[in-house]
Structure 1
Amino acid sequence: MCMTSLVEDAEHRVPLRRIVALFRPYRWAMAGLLGLIAVQAALGVAAPFFLREILDTALPHRDTVLLTLLAAGMIASSVGSGAMSVTTTGVANTIGQRVMNDLRVGVYEHLQRMSLAFYTRTRTGEVLSRVFNDIGGVDNVVNTTAATIAQNGITTLAIAVALLVMNWQLALLGLVTVPVFLLFTLRLGTKRRALARGRQTRLARLTTMVEESLSVAGVLLAKTMGGERELRERFARESAEISRLERESALAGRWQLASRRICLTCVPAIVYWITGMALAHGASPASLGTVVAFTSMLNRLVAPASALQSVGQNVSAATALFGRIFEVLDLPAEIADRPGAGELTVREGAVSLRGVSFRYGDDWTLRDIDLEIPAGSTTALVGATGSGKTTLAYLVARLYEPSEGSVLIDGVDVRDVTLASLAGAVGLVSQETYLFHASVRDNLRFAKPDATDEEIERAARAAHIHDTLAALPDGYDTVVGQRGYRFSGGEKQRMAIARILLRNPPILVLDEATSALDNRTERAVQAELDRLAAQRTTIAIAHRLSTVEHADQIVVLDRGRIVERGKHAELLALGGRYARLVRGSS
């Protein structure tokens, strides 16, 4: 069996083209954005040309009309460039947020497709960290990087062309010097990527610690075991390590970056010196207006050039986060719809297990299971803890996949039907009841989203929980609390039974569904379950053997094998494993 899980410290290499592919659905919007950026860049380089004409023509000739027009041109180009900047930022952010939404939804949907076994092997905090910390970490990169690269790249190109048009001799100096300075910090990428990967690994551990220690069960354990100080110290150590990595990341290459900015700012001074010396000797390669306008435009080159270099560093660091995100997306779903899988239509509800074996690792949990469960009958699974009862029942719901053999419903292999249709046919009430942090009504309606209030209350009455719910201050609108901790175990189990009654599946799996109930309530709920089971195929995992005495078939499991099967009286008369279990429970 494939053991799929998340590797906490491993680096998952992601080619850049895969990150770029995230933007492919929005390529036409990106094309429009590039057009807007091109217009913005053209407006941005217009002002120095107006400035040159003011200094070289309008002022020397005292042409006030031309001066007015040129000044108005400078103002208009500046206003237009600013307006386009706001527009391009809005468009870029819209595209980025759509990409982020696609990424979040894609990761969540893929995690939903992972098997139950995946979640038994993977810490919840690690999953939460991938969804929130890692995706949140690339939010800024996705939202701004594509636009920043396009905007500053086109702006840099526009300025370079404008410099060549204005004076090619001076342009050669600037266009040769600037790239040399930009190459100064290329080696920072690897270091920042390693720091980002270490930071996210620590964040995953911290998220796991918070999720476990600040849950109701975790707080209860810490308080009763006196472990609060130990947890605080562990949290402080992890937090301090994250702070150290953040500090190293913030300081990484700061001297190189500072030196680069100093050098880029020095280029205009060099231009002034060269042209000034040439002018002093009567051999200036450009007019005063050209020199001033040129240096003005050269100063404009510093910002986009620096921004492109910073983006390169950010992308390099974000690559580590994308690696962790794509590691999730690349995990194979152990249980998925086969190509051409059909819809399951339950005609009778007969369940068959033929030659079924299953194992989590090296040891077999179930071995050579052959079992026929007739339609409309009740089959009870009994046995000691660890005998394989729950695993067998979960195979019917395809929460696990057989390592060998097949599970069939009405003669159809459950692997040949869609998981959605199978979920609609097989209902499960487990021993561990899960309730969302929502109202009682919403928790019940989760089983049947279009259920009316009358249907919800009818199901609650049948599960003998209506009176308890109705007596609450907010009735069915009462919020149950995290995992339903404001209710007792028995109350939660009755709500779970009400939920399955509301769903009304043709095949019912009861995994010790009444184990948390007191004897009086258990008898009342068991009577309702018996009434419900009479109309459908039922597989009941027995906690109290007294609840399965009237089952049509009792199957006794021992170390993953069926050792006995028959009715209650027959198995008692046999005097074997079942009889010993009954004597041991009495």
Structure 2
Amino acid sequence: MSHADESAFDRYRADVERPLARLFREYGTSRTRWLVAGLLANLVAQAASLLPPVVLGEAIDALFGETTTAYTLPFVPQSWIPATAEGQFWFSVALIAGSFVVTGVFTWVYGVVANQFAHDVMHAVRTDSFEKLLRLDMTFFDDKQTGEVMSILNNDAGNLELFLDNALMNSLRLVIMVGGIAFVLFSLNWQLALVTLVAIPAIVVFTLWFMRVVAPRYRARQSATAGFNTRIENGISGVELVKTTGSEGYERERVRDASRGVFETTMSVLRLSYFYRPGMELLAGLSFAATFLVGGYWLFTGTAPGPLTGTLEVGTFVTFIFMTQRFVAPLAEVSNIVDQVQNARASAERVFGLSDIPVSIEDDGDAVELRDPEGVVAYEDVSFAYRDVFGETASDTVLEDVSFDAEPGETVAVVGETGAGKSTLLKLLLRLYEPTAGTVRLDGHDVRDLTLGSLRDAVGYVSQDTHLFDGTIAENVRYGRFDASDEAVRRAAKAAEAHGFITELADGYETRVGERGVKLSGGQRQRIALARAVLSDPPVLVLDEATSAVDTETERAIQRSLDRLSADRTTLVVAHRLSTVVDADEILVLDGGAVVERGSHEELVSRGGAYADLWNAQTGAEASVEAGDD
């Protein structure tokens, strides 16, 4: 796979080594007490569950057989066993009943603490993964796979929880059961025990083969699931475009194709699993059949078959039958354990693949806090080209040798054709991206030498792509300044010309805006975003076409407010409508990423260059519209 076709998940997931061991190392160590408690409780429960068949077999031979034998139990001192047959009977009843009680109690303890461990790890994986997402560079989100991200936070974390809760503990139970049963059977009759356990080597080889073959199929299935989630998310988020373009059929087919991918990769796993599971059950069943055949013949004829020697008691044979039945069930569950382990391994690879994606834009070890910022902005020979998450250049040069200064109280506007690099230029100030060359300074500091928190606190940013969270209008205005008073929220809304429409809503500032603010118009959303920036009261205000979605009258009202707001702060504006920047102290005209003109509105119009062409095109279009309206 070439880098062009390779996502960040693919690259870093492929480099994850021993993902399940890493899961325990990074998340299990601090939760050892819960893991150990669960393991011990499981050990006691499974050991206690092996006692009834042993007691039953001994009671049959010692108390109910035609020829009685001495009543003895492994690891139980003879002095504890009653001397009379009646006493031995009630002693057996007490042991069997007590073993069931112990099994039940410790199974409950195991269930509680094992789930505490598993769900605590799942919680930590989810929160850590989301925290890592928030730290990732914008280059990651420029090519984001939302469904992939959601799959990690939900499906993969859930797979890890299932592994830790079920597969891990069931593996221990299998080891205890097989080991305990083998120990008991060998202590009773080592020759018949060899017959019972003859299938174990074949089971081990069969399991290792299955794990090797099925692993890539699980990875393919999870990748297909993530792709399906992305397709669904894209279809839902773009449902308005789908409907207005009549593209329901096209989207349906795209989802159908993605779903087919999930179906085919899932069936690839299931076809192999349903070959493995009956195979395991067959091998375990053969162990039981061999035990019944050899032991039954031994008792029926009274002669040891083949190379076997000695005698076999009825009680011992009954214990073997019970134990072999207990032996069959855990072995048949190996397929489920392997299924969960492989799922968890693929999920852990994806989780740590996300965790291992490098973050280039973060605080340096010697980063300083920006205190009492004044808002002096300087761009010095700044060039920029987009890079991918691997640090490799992913575009041609977007900006080239851009330089300008902005002082408190000044407004610098950036204009130009679409794709000229206007928005990218201002995003460099917030370190959403890093310049390829040159330096961006705030109050004389290279922004790379400042802590991200203090840098972004000093800059209020309003994007043309306004985002509101599902919540109330007040909560969205207050976002980022969560302790702001209601009065401060209202003052900010008034400054952004939003107070009027807010008070006309049924619930006023407590009106819920819906996901992404869908219950509000584009202009209303932009005014709330402006109020949010105003509330933060930053020394630097960055407006990236912040009035693009409002009507002309509202734009004029907002512009008056912005004029007041920018009187004592540094304002950087990206504008498509040149009428909004005619009063700017300096206007930069970008073309192909380079500044081709700079100056005031009057100066640039008088030169008759690129800006004058843009101005004439816009004013001419506006005049034509007005003439048409007349």
TM range (shorter): over 0.9
User: Within the alignment, does 1:12 sit opposite 2:14 as a pair?
Assistant: yes
- Please name the residue that 1:27 is paired with: 32
**Among 250, 264, 287, the residue aligned to 2:270:** 250
Match of 1:221 among 215, 220, 241: 241
Q: 2-side partners of 1:263 and 1:225: how far apart?
A: 59
Identify which of 149, 159, 168 aligns with 2:181: 159
- Matches of 2:150 and 2:366, distance apart in 1: 33
Cα offsets for 1:343-371 (capped at 9, x unmatched): 22243211111221101234111111222
In structure 1, what is the equivalent of residue 358 of structure 2? 332
SS of structure 1 residue aligned to 2:464:
coil
Separation (CA, whole Å) in 2 of partners of 1:559 and 1:396: 20
Change (3 A) 1:243 1:575: closer
Asked whether 1:108 is paired with 2:141, we answer no
> Deviation string for 1:182-213 (max 9, x for gaps)?
43343222443233222222222222222122
**Unaligned ranges ≥5, structure 2:** 69-83, 305-309, 387-393, 620-630
Q: Distance in 2 between matches of 1:253 and 1:575?
A: 74
The residue number in structure 1 matching 2:407 is 374
Cα distance, 1:261–1:169 mapped onto 2, change above 3 Å: same
Q: Does 1:495 align with 2:495?
A: no
SS in 2 for 1:214: helix
CA contact (8 A) 1:572 1:579 kept: yes
* Residue 534 of structure 1: how far off its partner (Å): 1.4
Q: Would the alpha carbon gap of residues 70 and 249 (structure 1) be closer, same or farther in structure 2, given more than 3 Å must change?
A: same
- Counterpart AA for 1:371: F
In structure 1, what residue type is equivalent to 2:44? Answer: V
Equivalent residue, structure 2, for 1:63: 85
Residues 206-237 of structure 1, C-alpha deviations (whole Å, 9 max, x = no match): 2222212222xx22222222221222233233
User: Residue 200 of structure 1 aligns with which residue?
Assistant: 222
- Which piece of structure 1 moves more, 548-557 or 516-525? 548-557
- Secondary structure of the residue aligned to 1:348 is coil
2-structure distance, mates of 1:214, 1:282: 75
Specify the alignment match of 1:172 in structure 2.
194
Deviations 1:244-264, CA, capped at 9 Å, x for gaps: 333342232424422331332
Q: Distance in 2 between matches of 1:7 and 1:34?
A: 34
1:430 deviation in Å? 0.9
Map of 2:256 onto structure 1: 236
Paired with 2:606 and 2:247, the residues of 1 have a C-alpha distance of 52
Partners of 2:539 and 2:570 within 8 A in 1: yes
Which among 581, 598, 603 is matched to residue 548 of structure 1?
581
State the TM-score, normalizing by the size of structure 2: 0.86
* Cα shift at 1:476: 1.9
Query: Which residue identity is paired with 2:582?
Result: E
SS at match of 1:252: helix
Cα offset for 1:397?
0.8
Contact 1:189–1:317 under 8 Å retained in 2: no
| Residue identity in the other structure for 1:63 | A
Distance change in 2, residues 1:193/1:391 (3 Å): same
Find the residue that maps to 1:364 and give its secondary structure.
coil
Read off the aligned partner of 1:289 and give its amino acid letter: G
How many Å separate the matches in 1 of 2:181 and 2:303? 28
Aligned to 1:524, what secondary structure does the other structure show? Answer: helix
Within 5 Å, which residues of 2 pair with 1:524-539?
Answer: 524-539=557-572
Contact 2:399 2:592 in 1 (8 A): yes
Farther-moved stretch of structure 1 (25-34 vs 423-432): 25-34
Equivalence for 1:417: 450
Contact 1:384-1:558 at 8 Å conserved across structures:
yes
Cα offset, 1:12, TM superposition? 2.2
> What runs of 5+ residues in structure 1 fail to find an aligned partner?
none
List aligned pairs for 1:91-130, cutoff 5 A.
91-130=113-152
Letter in 2 for 1:68: W
Mean CA deviation greater in 422-431 or 370-379: 370-379
Q: What is residue 285 of structure 2 aligned with on the other side? A: 265
> 1:198 and 1:10 mapped to 2: Cα distance?
16
Does structure 1 retain, via aligned residues, the 8 Å contact 2:462–2:529? yes
1:19 Cα shift? 3.3
* Alignment-mate amino acid for residue 576 of structure 2: H
Structure 1 outlier segments of 4+, above 4 Å: 2-5, 7-11
**Which residue does 1:349 correspond to in 2?**
375
Tell me if structure 2 keeps the 8 A contact 1:5–1:118: no
Q: Secondary structure at the match of 2:319?
A: helix
| 1:378-401 Cα shifts (integer Å, max 9, x gaps) | 211122222221111000011111
> What is the SS of the residue equivalent to 1:441?
helix
**3-state SS in 1 of match to 2:50:** helix
Residue of structure 1 equivalent to 2:474: 441
TM-score, scaled to structure 1: 0.93
With over 3 angstroms needed to count, the CA separation of the structure-2 counterparts of 1:295 and 1:179, relative to structure 1, is farther
Cα drift, residue 497 of structure 1: 0.6
Paired residue secondary structure (1:508): strand
Instruction: Find the partner of 1:42 among 42, 47, 54.
Output: 47
Shift of 1:48: 2.1
The one-letter code sitting in structure 2 at the alignment partner of 1:379 is: V
* Aligned partner letter, 2:29: R
Q: 195-204 or 132-141, which moves further after superposition?
A: 132-141
* More off after superposition, 307-316 vs 459-468: 307-316
1:386/1:409 Cα in 2 relative to 1: closer, same or farther (>3 Å)? Answer: same
The answer to whether the Cα contact below 8 Å between 1:155 and 1:304 also exists between their aligned partners in 2 is yes
Aligned in 2, Cα 1:158/1:431: closer, same or farther, shift over 3 Å?
Answer: same
Q: Does the 8 Å CA contact 1:509/1:538 hold for their aligned counterparts?
A: yes
Greater alpha carbon shift after TM alignment, 228-237 vs 91-100: 228-237
Q: Which moved more, 1:153-162 or 1:500-509?
A: 153-162
Q: Secondary structure at the match of 1:363?
A: coil
Q: Does 1:480 align with 2:513?
A: yes
